[in-house]
Structure 1
């Protein structure tokens, strides 16, 4: 059994800050935990925009608070994101995520799990998990 709190993970190597100051992420469950997926609490800051293309990972994201929008690069569809919204990147989708008027607090699951210190590369992806 694994039990950990967000508070005990904050301020440790499980807390990762983007080099672009667009997001911060606390990686509560990682590959080393052996569950087959990773679980993160991520903050996307108000007013930012980021291009994302997880070409090596599938992702599910639940918005716990705040607001923003998600744009599909493939077809230009824009979806509002607010507390209670779940979006799933089940096709390695290229997308733009925009922070709205408030910071978004997101619960994220990645499959395969990430190792821990990954940040977005130039192409919007995380490196493949080894």
Structure 2
């Protein structure tokens, strides 16, 4: 059994903070459960280009407001608490935070914890 508390992750290597988002990684590939689990803050007033071409991501908003725009279709979906979306088609998208948004994210395959967004918005590992 794995037990972790968010307050124990904040400020560690499991807490990745960027200008647009802050991802607190609760489960990673090394935990060997088949997926990773992240408690992520999307910062207010930001827009992030993302394309998870190597991962499927499920996102559940628990706080805040914003929107997701699918790049290929220009469809825009409002994000608010209780809203869930899954990028099961590896959709290129723009994620915008109107306010700080707290999102619970699940990735398959599991993230290692060292991923950063490349110029296409895809996750690539900084470690092999």
Q: Same fold (TM over 0.5)?
A: yes
Where does residue 26 of structure 2 map in the other structure? 28
Aligned partners of 1:22 and 1:61: how far apart in 2? 16
Give every structure 1 segment of 4 or more consecutive aligned residues whose post-TM-superposition deviation is greater than 2 Å: none
Q: CA deviation at 1:79?
A: 0.3
Alignment of 1:1-130 (within 5 A): 1-18=1-18, 21-100=19-98, 102-127=99-124
Aligned partners of 2:37 and 2:84: how far apart in 1? 14
Q: Please report the TM-score for the alignment, with normalisation by the length of structure 2.
A: 0.96
Q: CA deviation at 1:124?
A: 0.1
**SS of match in other structure, 1:114:** coil
Gapped runs of 5+ residues in structure 2? none
Aligned partners of 2:59 and 2:71: how far apart in 1? 18
Aligned partners of 1:9 and 1:117: how far apart in 2? 15
- Number of aligned residue pairs: 127
RMSD over aligned Cα atoms: 1.3
Q: Please report the TM-score for the alignment, with normalisation by the length of structure 1.
A: 0.94
**SS of match in other structure, 2:22:** strand
Gapped runs of 5+ residues in structure 1? none
Q: CA deviation at 1:117?
A: 2.1
